[in-house]
Structure 1
Amino acid sequence: MSLMRSLNRALSATTGLQVRKAAAVAPPGPKNAAAKPGKRPTPVYRCPAPVDLATDRLLREPVFIMSPVRSGSTLLRMLLNAHPRFHAPHELHIRRLEVDFGSKLSQRAMSALDLERGDLEHLLWDRVMHRELVRSGKDFIVEKTPSNAFVYRRIRDCWPDARFVFLLRHPVSVARSWHEGDPGKRTFDEAAADALRYMRAVDNARKGITGGHTLRYEDITAGPEKEMRRLCAFLDVDFEPSMLDYGRKDDTQVVKGLGDWRDKIRTGQVQSGRPLPAEDEIPEILRPMCEAWGYTS
């Protein structure tokens, strides 16, 4: 008879209890490991009336470039930044700047001022961008973070006088460039599926915003002066020839992870785009978007 059975017989006779082998317990995770936060719901906010803009917003007529990833938005911001009236910094990711109340009293105090969490976030976004604009000494700021397309309604509501530029590119070229940017991170199929999320967001923004201006990357690389003249007319500024020769950029001006950083964008001049994909090179997942954006015959 095993020791365990003998022990259990004795325990059962005297206490009614028995010993059982404990189930395996998973080892504890690192002490500093934090649970991945879930997606926060869109906070409550109000849309400032035109009469309130003078007190609620510092920026006037900011320009937002709505584009998928790898669509030439860094090139477009370089061209605009070469204009004496536009400051186009690297991607600012303002939508990720969030505000929390440190206590219920602070929440009550802000609510008494008619400021909810969303309103405070909008004030923060506006202040950060205005600070950057003032430091540049120019008149208007340009923001080109691709993920802004996912929150275009908040941006439109935050700045009722904002101007929107939609930059399109052949969906297959977008997917290829997204894959080539980090081939070890994503296959072409994964890149196509991920880039499609951005394309759909931009498409929704184009449909949801009236009065925007649409550009195509292929048109910019084929005829930059013509497209910049059209864009300047939309933005109500004079075209400047200096836009076409925006100057060589170093590591302080082109930052990896905050836009395109590779050699092509550093040359300081518009380079030729890649040939358009053939019809039989379009994967089924991208075909509807190619048709919607006019990239199929």
Structure 2
Amino acid sequence: MRRRLTAPTFILSSVRTGSTLLRAVLGAHSELHAPHETHLGDITVGFESRQVAASMERLGHTERELRFLLWDAVLAEELARSGKRHLVNKSPNDVFIRDEIAACWPDARFVFLIRHPAAILRSWRNARPYYSRDDLVADIVRYCEAVEAARTELPGPTVRYEDLVGDPAGTVRGLCDFLGVEWEEEMLDYGKAGTDTFVPGLGDWMEKIKSGRIQSDLLVPGPPPPQLKDVCVAWGYPPD
């Protein structure tokens, strides 16, 4: 079925990998619109009666296809309001619905954002101090394994958080090439485009991201727990 949105880009990542920063930087481009987290996976469609189910079946619509139409309409409308040409979407939970995203938009483009898993865990611990250690580790294992699976299933470049904050110009320039837009140095000063989208529950909203500028965070993390060592190896990080 025809889509209104053409070639949307999805950032697939774990929590606490700098995805809000990457979204803000890309969204500061004159042709890229990167809204706050949309949580597409939680937008659902249901048939409330047998009659409507039968009616939609006669029209050739399944609940899944109507859900895709709704996703497409929401993001296409958001892009139209922005006045820009291309949409970039990011919600960490998108990695768990990557097959549905690819089915909804066969022309979708994907960018994979990774970070040292031990650093992700450290950051998640700071953000969720009320979680038990076992729950923290289980969360990050689930996200990291899903991201690694996505990298094997879908095409697209992988960006390291460490490169994003260590060499932002070179890293973002490469992404611009991938997205088919001209590099704009102003992207790195993303605060000039506004910081009003940094709100609780829709990505990072702390003072660091609200500063409007890229800040390095390259503290060497401690050794990862055993559950994350395979991901460390797969991503090229030291496993101990």
* TM-score bucket of the superposed structures, by smaller chain: over 0.9
Letter in 1 for 2:180: D
State the AA in 2 paired with 1:200: E
Residues 1:216 and 2:160 are matched in the alignment = yes
The amino acid that maps onto 1:132 is E
CA contact under 8 A between 2:122 and 2:221: conserved in structure 1?
Answer: no
Matched ranges for 1:282-297 at <5 A: 282-296=224-238
* Paired residues for 1:187-202 under 5 Å: 187-202=132-147
SS in 2 for 1:247: helix
Give matches, 1:89-108, under 5 Å.
Answer: 89-108=35-54
Tell me the equivalent position of 2:107: 161
Say if 1:59 and 1:126, in contact at 8 Å, map to a contact too: yes
Match runs of 1:1-297 below 5 Å:
52=1, 56-184=2-130, 186-210=131-155, 212-247=156-191, 249-250=194-195, 252-278=196-222, 281-296=223-238
Provide, for residues 202-257 of structure 1, a one-character-per-residue CA deviation record: whole Å limited to 9, x for no partner: 111111113x111000001000000011101111111011111011655x320111
In structure 2, distance between residues paired with 1:117 and 1:253:
31
**TM-score (structure 1 length as normaliser):** 0.77
Letter in 2 for 1:216: R
TM-score by length of 2: 0.95
The amino acid of 2:121's aligned partner reads A
Between structure 1 and structure 2, the one with the greater Rg is 1
Higher relative CO (Cα under 8 Å, sequence separation at least 6) belongs to: 2
Q: Percentage identity across aligned positions? A: 46
Question: Secondary structure of the equivalent of 2:191?
Answer: coil
Alpha-carbon distance in structure 1 between the residues aligned to 2:220 and 2:7: 35
Q: Please report how far the alpha carbon of residue 57 of structure 1 lies from its aligned counterpart in structure 2 after TM superposition.
A: 0.7
1:251-291 CA-partner distances (Å, limit 9, x unpaired): x320111101111111111101132325xx22211111111
Residues 175 and 188, structure 1, Cα contact 8 Å, conserved in 2? no
Which structure 2 residue ranges, 5 or more long, are not aligned? Answer: none
The whole-number CA distance in structure 1 between the counterparts of 2:53 and 2:197 is 39
Count of aligned residue pairs for this structure pair = 238
- The question of whether the paired residues in 2 share the 8 Å contact of 1:66 and 1:164 is answered with yes
- Separation (CA, whole Å) in 2 of partners of 1:176 and 1:188: 11
Q: Partners of 1:241 and 1:175 in 2: how far apart?
A: 32
Instruction: Give the corresponding residue for 1:15.
Output: none
Give the superposition deviation at 1:187: 3.3
Aligned-pair RMSD on alpha carbons? 1.3
Which stretches of structure 1, 4 residues or more, deviate above 6 A after TM superposition? none
Structure-2 residue corresponding to 1:27:
none
- Aligned equivalents of 1:188 and 1:80: distance in 2? 34
